[in-house]
């Protein structure tokens, strides 16, 4: 497939007059989501009421949409299911993975992981007690730290601040060689670049849908379990929809077959409707094309910014193969600079303490926008337009 990016661009609504380089935080509205969500509200909930669970296919939606995401991340049909938030899915994957390596007690992660993953691991470790521990090392030290003490290697493939990308295949192989399992967080990977979970032999993976998958604010997360673990992994969050027979209402929990057991409670149908609509873009887009185009855009942005803004230092790896689909620069006044950029209609985001982060999302962003963003940034830096008290006063930033 050679992706027609003009066609994918037409699938999204973007407000006039802005350059949106924050789709790695919240993807924009897919035009089809308007109708799809309205139908879920009016035609399904409104007219079918309780019967929507069967007649509108609500009950199976987490699996159907999971399969659509599976195609982007190298997961076979029936190995991905939607639900909950990413933090919950991290807990769930991690708890199951730990139980599969009962003789070990160490979760290994890195300081570049998204903090919520570390917080959830910390909460799980506290609940488990009995010597369980979370060990974090610097991202570049992960490989050397994989040893025979590690039960589970828990990593986010692409660093949310710098865009640094781990080598999933190599680290997974290393973990397996050491007798450990892996939990991969694909928050900044799914929809951004090709992932090959099955090919890498990944054990568990989780991710969110509101970034590069454009499901809207608070869209549900996904979880993948390798088929070899799917019928043995025991869910710690053992909710009724993961039961073998939810509607038998047995008093005892018996995990459902395969990925079904990773379901917990009632799925969020309105959010899933939006996600399902958003996934239509992938019917005409090839993730390899998206990756290639993202690299073109990112390289152009880096070149243009570095040429014009020597005071900004590149925080992302220079090698595009070692980056995800974002580019970050550092500056001590990063917060104020981002406020000035937003005031000029260029939306990126700031990550403490000093990171300016720009996401490149070829489904709806092209070279013209990238050049405009770089030029606006250059103008702001040259004129010190960021140097205003109101830009420096920090509000809560998302």
Instruction: Give, as ranges, the residues between 161 and 220 that touch a copy of itself (CB under 8 A).
Output: 161, 208, 210, 216-220
The yes-or-no answer on residue 224 being catalytic is no
The yes-or-no answer on residue 174 being catalytic is no
Question: What is the smallest separation between the CB atom of 227 and a copy of itself, expressed in angstroms?
Answer: 23
Q: Which of residues 53-92 bind a copy of itself (CB under 8 A)?
A: 53-54, 58-59, 83-88, 91
The reply to whether 257 sits near a copy of itself by the rule CB under 8 A is: no
The yes-or-no answer on residue 185 being catalytic is yes
Q: Are 103 and 130 in contact (CB under 8 A)?
A: no
Distance CA 341, CA 365 (A): 17
Q: Which stretch binds a copy of itself (CB under 8 A): 40-48, 64-72, 142-150, 379-387?
A: 40-48
Cβ proximity to a copy of itself, 217 vs 332, nearer residue: 217
Distance CA 306, CA 176 (A): 40
Distance CA 239, CA 223 (A): 15
Q: Which residue has the tokens 């929507």?
A: 52
The yes-or-no answer on residue 114 being catalytic is yes
Could you give the dihedral angle defined by the CA atoms of residues 282, 286, 287 and 293, in that order, rounded to the nearest 10 degrees?
Answer: -120
Distance CA 247, CA 240 (A): 8
Cβ proximity to a copy of itself, 255 vs 320, nearer residue: 255
The yes-or-no answer on residue 210 being catalytic is yes
The reply to whether 240 sits near a copy of itself by the rule CB under 8 A is: yes
Q: Which stretch binds a copy of itself (CB under 8 A): 72-80, 115-123, 148-156, 371-379?
A: 115-123
The reply to whether 295 sits near a copy of itself by the rule CB under 8 A is: no
Q: Which of residues 357-396 bind a copy of itself (CB under 8 A)?
A: 395-396
Q: Which stretch binds a copy of itself (CB under 8 A): 42-50, 64-72, 144-152, 325-333?
A: 42-50
CA-wise closest residue to 301 among 378, 189, 212, 213: 378
Q: Are 325 and 24 in contact (CB under 8 A)?
A: yes
The reply to whether 225 sits near a copy of itself by the rule CB under 8 A is: no
Q: Are 65 and 275 in contact (CB under 8 A)?
A: yes
Distance CA 336, CA 333 (A): 6
Residue 344: CA atoms inside 13 Å, Cβ hemisphere, count?
Answer: 23
Cβ proximity to a copy of itself, 74 vs 354, nearer residue: 354
Distance CA 100, CA 326 (A): 35
The reply to whether 317 sits near a copy of itself by the rule CB under 8 A is: no
Q: Which stretch binds a copy of itself (CB under 8 A): 44-52, 177-185, 292-300, 375-383?
A: 44-52
What residues act catalytically? 114, 185, 210-211, 357
């Amino acid at each position: 497939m050679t992706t027609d990016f003009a066609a994918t661009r037409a699938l999204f609504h973007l407000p006039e007059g802005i350059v949106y380089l924050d789709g790695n935080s919240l993807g924009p509205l897919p035009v089809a989501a308007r109708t799809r969500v309205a139908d879920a509200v009016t035609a399904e909930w409104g007219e079918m009421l309780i019967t929507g669970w069967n007649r509108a296919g609500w009950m199976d939606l987490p699996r159907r949409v999971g399969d659509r995401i599976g195609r982007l991340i190298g997961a076979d049909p029936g190995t991905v299911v939607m639900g909950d938030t990413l933090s919950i899915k991290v807990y769930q994957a991690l708890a199951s993975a730990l139980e599969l390596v009962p003789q070990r007690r160490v979760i290994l992660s890195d300081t570049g992981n998204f903090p919520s993953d570390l917080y959830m691991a910390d909460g799980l470790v506290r609940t488990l007690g009995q010597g369980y521990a979370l060990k974090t090392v610097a991202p570049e030290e992960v490989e050397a730290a994989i040893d025979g003490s590690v039960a589970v290697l828990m990593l986010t493939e692409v660093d949310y601040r710098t865009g640094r990308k781990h080598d999933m295949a190599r680290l997974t192989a290393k973990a397996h060689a050491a007798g450990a399992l892996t939990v991969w967080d694909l928050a900044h990977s799914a929809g951004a670049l090709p992932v090959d979970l099955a090919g890498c032999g990944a054990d568990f993976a989780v991710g969110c849908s509101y970034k590069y998958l454009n499901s809207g604010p608070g869209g549900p997360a996904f979880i993948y379990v390798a088929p070899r673990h799917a019928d043995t992994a025991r869910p710690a969050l053992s909710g009724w929809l993961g039961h073998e027979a939810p509607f038998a209402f047995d008093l005892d929990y018996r995990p459902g077959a395969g990925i079904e057991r990773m379901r917990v409670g009632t799925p969020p149908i309105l959010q899933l409707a939006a996600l399902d609509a958003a996934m239509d873009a992938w019917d005409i887009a090839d993730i390899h094309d998206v990756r290639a185009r993202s690299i073109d855009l990112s390289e152009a942005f880096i070149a243009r910014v570095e040429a014009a803004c020597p005071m900004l230092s590149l925080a992302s790896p220079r090698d595009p193969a070692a980056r995800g689909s974002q580019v970050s620069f550092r500056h001590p006044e990063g917060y104020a600079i981002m406020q000035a950029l937003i005031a000029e209609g260029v939306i990126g985001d700031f990550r403490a303490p000093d990171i300016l982060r720009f996401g490149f999302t070829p489904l709806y962003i092209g070279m013209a926008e990238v050049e405009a963003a770089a030029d606006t940034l250059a103008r702001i830096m040259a004129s010190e337009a960021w140097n205003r008290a109101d830009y420096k006063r920090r509000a809560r930033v998302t």
